Structures are given as C-alpha cells and as structure tokens.
Structure 1
C-alpha cells in the first residue's frame, strides 16, 4: 500500500515537473493533455515491452514457491491492465470503448497483446480530451477529476508493471527497460 501511495504521489508530481518551462520558454504553459499523454506514452512503452518479452508459453506463469496462492498469472496481469484502461477512461468521451468483460475471456498472448495495445490507444484518445479548463473539474458522484483519474491510473499500472517485472525475472528474462543499449 505504501508503494502505491508513493507512486500516486509521483504520478501527481511528475506532470508538474514536466510542465515547468525550460529557461528559453519561461511563462509558456503546457497543455494538460500533452503532459499526461507524454507520461502515458512512457508507461505504455515499459508495460507493452514487458508484456511482449514474456514468451507465449509462459503467459500462464504464476509463482508457486512461497505465499503466492491465488495470484494472477502473467497473462491475467496483462489482461487486467487492458481492462483497467477502459475502466478508468470510459466516461471521458473517447471513441472505441470496449467492455472490459470481453477481455476477461482472452487466453492467447496475441489476443491479450492486441487488447493491451488497443486499450492504450483508447487511453491516449481519452487523455487528449483533457484541457486546462476540464482537468480539475469534478466528474461523477465520486467527485474525481480527469487529472486525478489519469494520475491514479498510471500509479495503478506501475504497481502491476512491477509484478510483470518480477514474473519476467523469475523466468530468467531481463525486462526490456532494464536492458543496456546494444544487448
């Protein structure tokens, strides 16, 4: 839980850091969609890279040594991330919404990877609806904001990315983001 809170704080602070003008652009404001979409692109690169690095025959892998009873398999982790993108951004008015329940049934790596990539296309479309005027407007009964939902979605994704990395390493695979250039 502490890790998730730290990630959430980081996700909220990072857009502020990205929005800081460089010396040559003092006073220039960054558009929220541009800032958050940039963060989402970085996150997507790491998650899709990790998901793609696991061989198809290992998508059913879940740790068995230790207290891992009932944890998601690698493929279930990836499916959950795809489902989550649709759940977090469903009310933003972006096109090509997919009912997350349809993703639950996917079993092959190819189908899960397609669902993951499609979910990021949807998330990017949603992210690009964020403006300075609506980023902090309350949405729905829970009084969330686009900026808050976007930040939390990225913190949630990084939590699962950490699990994907562990599963890769348990299978002797170095995550793409950890590989040195030229390897």
Structure 2
C-alpha cells in the first residue's frame, strides 16, 4: 500500500510540475485570446504558400461554370481579411485598399500581393489591438457579438477557403507545400 501511495504521489508531482500557469498570471501571455488567435490565423495563412505554389496559368481555373476560380478564392479571402475588421470592429482598411473591389483583382502576382498584404494587415491590427476591443459589443451579420467573435469568424471564413484552395490545387496536380 505504501508503495502505491509513493507512486501516486510521484505521478502527482510530475503532473503538477508540467502544468503551465493559468492565463492571467503575471508574465504569462501564452493563453491570451490574441495569442491563440494569432496561432490559428498563422496556421490558416499557409494558404499564401499554396497561392505562391499554384501556377499562374491555373489562376483562372474553376471546377465548373458559376463556381469561383482559383484567383477569386484568394481575393475573396483577402477581401474579408480587410472587411471584417472595418465593418465590425471599426478598424478602417488602409486608404489605398478598395475593399469592395478586391475580388476583381486578377493575375498571380497581383492576387498573391493582395492576399499577403491582407494577412499582414490582420496580424498587425490584432497585435496592436487593445484587449478592451475584444470584449466590446459590435454587429456581425445582424447579430450582436464581441470583438473576439469577429476575429473567430475571420479564422473560420479563411479556413473554409483554405480547404477549398487545397481541393483546387490537388485537382490541378499541385501538392500543398506543407504536404511535400
């Protein structure tokens, strides 16, 4: 019995030593919403490497008539990277960005450039965003939500189209760079 108690106590000590501080403890920022958002956003941003790997001649390809082309998917992602912060968080897009017409951009170089710029824009505004903005109520698609919900929608939207982009790439014989 004493041996079992010693083993249990040893296991408890090992587990306790491995536990990270709870969010909000001084000096620990690894579990903050902004940190978690950034990790998920960066993961979804791998779509940029896919956009760069896709051959320019495939940018106008679409699986069938009436469905978004490769470049339309990438510009759609870029548009909403600017749209959600502007429309729901009151953070204006850069003056030289015409949010309403981003989806009309064509050509690999231009599409990759606007996608990359939109990703960097989101990273920058979230990095600079005051924590109070995350809790502030706003509107998103007619619902009252907080800033965190808007940023979560941004990731959800982007991730949906990452999946679509992977399917498009594979249908065109392009292996996502992270799968090679």
Q: TM-score scaled by structure 1?
A: 0.74
What is aligned with 2:150?
149
| Deviation (angstroms), 1:49 | 1.1
Residue 75, structure 1, aligned to residue 71, structure 2: yes
Structure 2: which 5+ runs fail to align? 1-16
| Residues 62 and 71, structure 1, Cα contact 8 Å, conserved in 2 | yes
Q: Which has the higher contact order (CA 8 A, sep 6+)?
A: 1
Residues of 2 paired with 1:28 and 1:144: CA distance?
23
Distance 1:164 1:62, change over 3 A: same
Aligned to 2:61: 61
Residues 136 and 23 from structure 1, CA distance in 2 versus in 1: closer, same or farther, beyond 3 angstroms?
farther
Instruction: Report runs of 4+ in structure 1 exceeding 6 Å deviation.
Output: none
- Which structure is higher in strand share? 2
User: In 2, distance between residues paired with 1:120 and 1:92?
Assistant: 18
Task: Report the Cα distance in structure 2 between the residues aligned to 1:43 and 1:51, rounded to whole angstroms.
Answer: 12
| 2:87 is the alignment partner of 1:87 | no
The aligned runs of 1:24-173 (5 Å cut-off) are: 25-29=20-24, 30=29, 31-44=32-45, 46-64=46-64, 69-90=65-86, 91-93=89-91, 96=94, 98-140=97-139, 142-173=143-174
Contact residue 82 and residue 93 of structure 2 kept, 8 A: no
**Larger deviation, residues 151-160 vs 91-100:** 91-100
What do residues 53-95 of structure 1 show as CA deviations (whole Å, max 9, x unaligned)? 110111001113xxxx310000000010000101111134366
| Number of equivalent positions | 153
Distance in 2 between residues matched to 1:28 and 1:149, nearest whole Å = 21
1:23 aligns to 2:18 (yes or no): yes
Deviation at 1:132, TM superposition (A): 4.1
Give the structure with higher Rg (CA).
2
Match of 2:176 in 1: 175
Contact 1:92 1:126 in 2 (8 A): no
